[in-house]
Amino acid sequence: MRLTSIQLQHYRNYEQIELATDSQVNLFVGRNAQGKTNLLEAIFVLALTKSHRTSKDKELVGWQSSEARIRGVVEKRYGPLTLDLSLSPQGKKAKINGLEQRKLSEFVGSLNVVMFAPEDLEIVKGTPGIRRRFLDMEIGQVQPGYLHALGQYSKVLVQRNNYLKTASPGNANQAMMDVWNMQLAEYGVKIVKKRQNFIEKLQKWAQQIHAGITAGAEELTIVYRPSFESDPTEDESILFEQFMIKLTQVKDQELRRGMTLVGPHRDDMAFFINGKEASVYGSQGQQRTTALSLKLAEIELIHEEIGEYPLLLLDDVLSELDQHRQTQLIETFQSKVQTFITTTGLESVNISKLHDSRVYQVKDGH
């Protein structure tokens, strides 16, 4: 797919801007703090209705305004779509070809993107919460049912946690706990199953790509670490039983601590290079390459799932790669993936290697 134009209103430091983006490679060049990342972020937000940098939508709205708007035209296999997203204190509104979407989860997936930014290193070496956010964002893009299950799960989790805070092992209402346990397990299992499935496919592609980047010197493996034992080959009803058993086992502990201790909100995943955990033993370069392999794997995975390539958004990362890796990255993807790149200077980019590119100078939100 291709994004052929983007229009912003009161988005961060952009008052009003419209760009035709019909080239295969689009380079946003400018000095620091001019709005390069904001542009990539806006494309990301149009795809996922959430920023990669913040969970507070308020920050996306221009300081002088109360509502931000993003419009994009996406060329897909079966024709063009006009996507509109507005963000205001009243919430988010999304339209496809002028038709308001009742649920944001139905809007997500109309435009697919993969962003690679310096902070993605945190997926490898940061906290489990960062990895869960990564999983949720990526699976949500390709599996519409996922975000729904996640939303329902979070609601049950909040209610259950509120109850656990007020009750104690001696006075817990078992009937109420049973209802929450069933609901938690019902949605939780859907999430776990989709995460298992996603990680398995991601690992297949990431392994291949990582071996390519490191010329076969490194073997990357990705391991899912769910909060309760769950065999990936088992079906949902078995996982449901396992989840329920685990909840029974930790019941008293949960009541004492006032929080839910098992379920996908406590999941994690880990990366191994030649059998050694990358977050513990990996060098900075190995961790960076792992993050890059993951992102490039996602491109293939999205293609596999939806039959179209997503857009690739590269924020400030070209200058961090050596010439060899830069060339390899751009050459591998430029024929099939529309790419948006930000950089402070063109000297680090080998433009002669690009077939269909356009340079935009970004200066103070213009």
Q: Which residues are annotated as a binding site?
A: 30-37
Return the range that interacts with ligand ATP (CB under 6 A); candidates 54-62, 72-80, 124-132, 273-281: 54-62
**Considering the rule CB under 5 A, would residue 105 count as an interface residue with Mg ion?**
no
Q: What is the spatial distance between Cα 36 and Cα 166, in angstroms, rounded to a whole number?
A: 48
Q: How far is the CB of 34 from Mg ion (least distance, A)?
A: 9
Q: Binding partner of residue 159 among ligand ATP, Mg ion, none, CB under 5 to 8 Å per kind?
A: none
Q: Are 297 and 205 in contact (CB under 8 A)?
A: yes
**Considering the rule CB under 6 A, would residue 110 count as an interface residue with ligand ATP?**
no
With respect to Mg ion, which residue has the nearer C-beta, 37 or 49? 37
Distance of CA 41 to the CA centre of its chain: 12
With respect to Mg ion, which residue has the nearer C-beta, 34 or 141? 34
Q: Are 35 and 362 in contact (CB under 8 A)?
A: yes
Q: Residues 7, 355, 28, CA angle at the centre, nearest 5°?
A: 35
Q: How many residues does the chain have?
A: 366
With respect to ligand ATP, which residue has the nearer C-beta, 40 or 209? 40
Q: Are 71 and 3 in contact (CB under 8 A)?
A: no
**Considering the rule CB under 6 A, would residue 34 count as an interface residue with ligand ATP?**
yes
Cα–Cα distances (Å) from 87 to 81, 84, 106, 132, in that order, read 20, 10, 17, 24
Applying CB under 6 A, which of residues 1, 25, 29, 36 lies at the interface with ligand ATP? 36
Residues 6+ apart with CB under 8 A from 160: 180, 184, 260
**Considering the rule CB under 6 A, would residue 344 count as an interface residue with ligand ATP?**
yes
Total binding residues for Mg ion by CB under 5 A? Answer: 1
Q: Binding partner of residue 364 among ligand ATP, Mg ion, none, CB under 5 to 8 Å per kind?
A: none
Q: Binding partner of residue 310 among Mg ion, ligand ATP, none, CB under 5 to 8 Å per kind?
A: none
Residue 312 has which token pair?
């690739």
Q: Are 312 and 339 in contact (CB under 8 A)?
A: yes
Q: How far is the CB of 37 from Mg ion (least distance, A)?
A: 3
Pairing assessment for the beta strands 339-343 and 25-29 based on DSSP bridges: parallel
Applying CB under 6 A, which of residues 1, 6, 23, 30 lies at the interface with ligand ATP? 30
**Considering the rule CB under 5 A, would residue 37 count as an interface residue with Mg ion?**
yes
Buried b (16+ CB within 10 A) or exposed e, 244-272: bebbeeebeebbeeeebbbbbbbbebbbb
Binding mask 271-310 for ligand ATP (x = CB under 6 A): ----------------------------------------
**Considering the rule CB under 5 A, would residue 38 count as an interface residue with Mg ion?**
no
Q: Binding partner of residue 38 among Mg ion, ligand ATP, none, CB under 5 to 8 Å per kind?
A: ligand ATP
Q: Are 309 and 303 in contact (CB under 8 A)?
A: yes
List the alpha helices (DSSP H) in the chain. 36-48, 104-107, 121-125, 128-142, 144-166, 174-213, 236-257, 278-281, 284-306, 323-333
Q: Binding partner of residue 13 among Mg ion, ligand ATP, none, CB under 5 to 8 Å per kind?
A: ligand ATP
Q: Residues 356, 357, 362, CA angle at the centre, nearest 5°?
A: 165
Q: How far is the CB of 350 from Mg ion (least distance, A)?
A: 21
Q: How far is the CB of 60 from Mg ion (least distance, A)?
A: 15
With respect to Mg ion, which residue has the nearer C-beta, 40 or 85? 40
Which residue number places its CB atom closest to Mg ion?
37
**Considering the rule CB under 6 A, would residue 44 count as an interface residue with ligand ATP?**
no
Q: Are 264 and 227 in contact (CB under 8 A)?
A: yes
**Considering the rule CB under 5 A, would residue 203 count as an interface residue with Mg ion?**
no
Q: How far is the CB of 117 from Mg ion (least distance, A)?
A: 8
In 3D space, the residue among 155, 244, 144, 243 whose CA is nearest the CA of residue 194 turns out to be 144
**Considering the rule CB under 6 A, would residue 86 count as an interface residue with ligand ATP?**
no
- Catalog residues that contact ligand ATP under the rule CB under 6 A: 12-13, 30, 32-38, 59, 61-63, 316, 344
Binding site for Mg ion (CB under 5 A): 37
